[in-house]
Amino acid sequence: MIEISPGPTRGRVVVVGAGPAGLMAAETVAEAGHRVTIIEQMPSAGRKFLMAGRGGLNLTHSEPIEDFLGRYGTGRAPLDAAIRAFPPDAIVAWANVLGQQTFIGTSGRVFPKAMKASPLLRAWLARLGDLGVDMRLRHRLSALAGEGQLIIRDPAGARGEMTADAVVLALGGASWPRLGSDGHWAGELRDKGIDVRPLEPANSGIAISWSPDLAEGHAGAPLKRIALTCGEQTSRGEATITATGLEGGAIYALSPVLREALQRDGTAALSLDLRPDITTEALAARLASARKGDSRANVLRKAARLSPAAVAVLRDAVANRLPAEPTALAALIKAVPLRGTALADIATAISTAGGVAWAEIDESFMLRKLPGIFCAGEMLDWEAPTGGYLLQACFATGRAAGLGVVAHLTHALKNQPTH
């Protein structure tokens, strides 16, 4: 038996998972005076959080809250209260308390001035240490035994039992499993009658059957200032050509509609606008005014202002049969037909969709069928684009679950029999 010793008015709380949702839940509960132990299977905390910091650690976004909430699609309604209770301004204030000043980038995204995750994570872990939070690394949850009992495997693989008054599960989704979130918990919860939606890639690249010449000659090349459309949804930004398809922000934002199309039709039709900043008519006029005698490559480079990679994609999409007439060529440049055949593997996706169905948890983020056990973060059934929305929801649901634990313990301790 692994013991957590409570005080006379303190609950024993176990948080499973040391990502942003778990750490926020632990901080919230510890601030209320309860004894918290974090169980983390990796050798250190916040490994995926540190990975996110390689691109500057986009903490949240500064856009108006209604626009912000709209980014969560079908997850907006269940996330609404948690995010409003811990909105972007609250995250900025929290980072400031940890000594990490933030700034708003030109895109409206919010970053720490250090532009990396490690200083914030160090300050956060120090804060948790000051609050008395016990961190047990290389410990893995094996099973939920009921009545607040967890079966844990220690670094040597030995099984031990841990008893808690409340548990927060913040185990992440199934993307980047080498960083700790491997989705192993899904089967355990399903066995207990919990509806766990299939974990699927989100913010993921798409597979496209390029010709060998394109795949070999342009893999790694960027497509800048483009627009991609699938169905009725359009995303502007950048993408990168890979040997097997496309990846990058412009494609990641389409993950939900691409997934839906793939499930429905087996493939996903994409329209690529290589020049979204100019109308078809204006582009046709530029092409028509090209110097006589210029090669097709020069016309596309000079008049259409396409990069070599963009020209290669354009040619590949129509098997090198480009129309000669300027209006037809302009229309093609503005709507290059591509066909996606699959989302990239979940192990390489930035995040995941699916997880614990919202009907399974109450307004305090406690599992209805397992009283005293709460869920937070990416293991819940929501998804969001990159741009600060992923971390925002992890922070907010971690705090909401932590507050749920505090309320649960307050009620339980108040009704505890006295001797």
Distance of alpha carbon 42 from the chain centroid: 19
So what's the pLDDT on residue 56?
Answer: 86
54 lies in the same domain as 195: yes
Among the candidates 299, 326, 343, a domain finishes at 343
pTM over 0.75? The answer is yes
* 271 lies in the same domain as 363: no
189 part of a folded domain: yes
For residue 251, CA distances in Å to 11, 72, 317, 390 come to: 45, 16, 17, 16
In this structure, are 219 and 291 located in the same domain?
yes
**Separation CA 121–CA 390 (nearest Å):** 17
Domain identity same for 252 and 232:
yes
pLDDT of residue 417: 59
Whichever domain contains 17, its CATH number is: 3.50.50.60
4 occurs within a structural domain: no
Domain count, the chain: 2
Residue 322 lies in domain? 206-343
Q: At what angle do helices 88-97 and 389-414 cross, to 10 degrees?
A: 80
Give, in degrees to the nearest 5, the angle at Cα 202 between 200 and 206. Answer: 100
Among 168, 169, 163, 129, residue whose Cα is nearest residue 148: 163
Tens digits of residue pLDDT in 368-407: 999 999 999 999 999 999 999 999 999 999 999 999 999 9
Q: Are residues 218 and 267 in the same domain?
A: yes
Number of Cβ within 10 Å of residue 215's Cβ equals 17
Indicate the residue among 325, 343, 361 that finishes a domain: 343
Cross-sheet strand order for the sheet of 140-146 = 140-146, 149-153, 159-163
Distance CA 337, CA 39 (A): 48
DSSP string, 111-156: EETT-SSHHHHHHHHHHHHHTT-EEEET-EEEEEEETTEEEEE-TT
Residues of the chain short of pLDDT 50, as ranges, are: 1-3, 8, 419
The answer to whether residue 125 sits within a structural domain is yes
127-186 residue pLDDT tens: 999 999 999 999 999 999 877 889 999 999 899 999 999 999 999 999 999 999 999 999
Assigned domain for 419 exists: no
Residues 67 and 148 in one domain: yes
State whether 210 and 176 are in the same domain. Answer: no
